[in-house]
Amino acid sequence: MSGEGFTIRSRIRNLLRSPSTKPKKNRKESLTSKVTLEKVLGITASGNSGLACDPRSGRVAYPAGCVVVLLNPKKNRQHHIINTSRKTITALCFSPDGKYLVTGESGHLPAVRLWDVAERREVAELQKHKYGISCVAFSPNSKYVVSVGNQHDMMVNVCAWKKNVVVAANKVSSKVTGVSFSEDSSYFVTVGNRHVKFWYLDHCKASKASAPVPLLGRSGLLGELRNNFFCDVACGRGSTSDSTFCITSSGLLCEFNSTRMLDKWVDLRTGVAQALSLSEDLIFCGCADGTVRAFSPVDLHFVCTLPRPHPLGSDVSAITEVNNTPL
């Protein structure tokens, strides 16, 4: 028995001294260096803030967990930005020149991160929120980035991102689902549940204080539409730069004038509306069942309804007619 015990102990000592684990570790490291993310299937966007498009290149960005997918729709090719903090990305936005991307995260102590799109590397990080971030946006002059916390955070921060400092901050009292800057970068607008608010940056530019100054906000005058859920917003461009356009979940396209007053609105004739986008010539409203309606920003006159996306699996080349559905 004693001889058997000695043999077992010898075998255990030999196993512990065995260098066989080292090649396995080296193989694992070599595999890690060779494996690259080629393609992401799916999207984790929970609202309008989870999708962005670079107006210059047409590149689309959207989150998939802790990864930002940069999709070239013309070539159907993906590139990826991986968030090293491993926190889920909830909001993103391109800079006006398309060179940078700002992202917001969810979870405890989330960060606002700035990324160089071409090199896909982080260039700035700011941690001023305690919980999740629901919206982020660049100012048209690319000087500021605004970030809005979710319903548990409620903070609105304006950051001079190249200096990595918050220049102004305040709180909101309701859930915010959209944010848009004015064309001259002098103010931005947030919208949400019974919420349309204009935030002004003029006093922030004049202030030289080292600490953030209180962000000046004024509520929009909603009138009889005060109980609506405003789900997206876009500030006017060109000849309509003094106007602000909002869309409600119940299907109303609204216009606020330069005095923050709800000036006019039209019924989109849809069960649900979610998204809004505009140029100098057209306003596009994303509605239920893949319906997109276009209006004139000058007088909210209906222009057309875009063809709906084709069903999955259908042969697009076999389609010979376009169904122009009236409003």
Q: pLDDT per residue over 236-247, tens digit each? A: 999 999 999 999
Phi, psi dihedrals of residue 192, rounded to the nearest 5°: 180, -150
pLDDT number for residue 308: 83
| Residue in the structure block whose two tokens are 């309606």 | 293
Whether 291 contacts 270, CB under 8 Å: yes
pLDDT number for residue 138: 96
pLDDT number for residue 245: 98
Helices (H), the chain: 2-17, 21-34, 202-206
CA end-to-end span of the chain, whole Å?
Answer: 93
**CA–CA gap between residue 71 and residue 39 (Å, rounded):** 10
Give the mean pLDDT of 155-179: 93
Pairing mode, if any, of strands 144-149 and 283-287? Answer: unpaired
Q: Chain-wide mean pLDDT for the chain?
A: 87
> How many percent of the chain have pLDDT more than 90?
66
Give the mean pLDDT of 10-33: 59
Give the mean pLDDT of 292-301: 96
pTM of the model: 0.83
Print burial letters for 83-121: b (CB count within 10 Å at least 16), e (below 16): bebebbbbbbbbbbebebbbbbbbeeebbbbbbebeeee
Amino acid occupying residue 202: D
Confidence of residue 270 (pLDDT cuts 50, 70, 90): very high
pLDDT number for residue 25: 55
Above 80 in pLDDT, residue 16?
no
Whether 158 contacts 204, CB under 8 Å: yes
Above 80 in pLDDT, residue 77?
yes
> How many percent of the chain have pLDDT more than 70?
86
Opening angle at CA 158, ends 156 and 163, nearest 5: 145
**CA–CA gap between residue 114 and residue 91 (Å, rounded):** 12
Whether 273 contacts 250, CB under 8 Å: yes
**CA–CA gap between residue 63 and residue 91 (Å, rounded):** 8
Whether 89 contacts 68, CB under 8 Å: yes
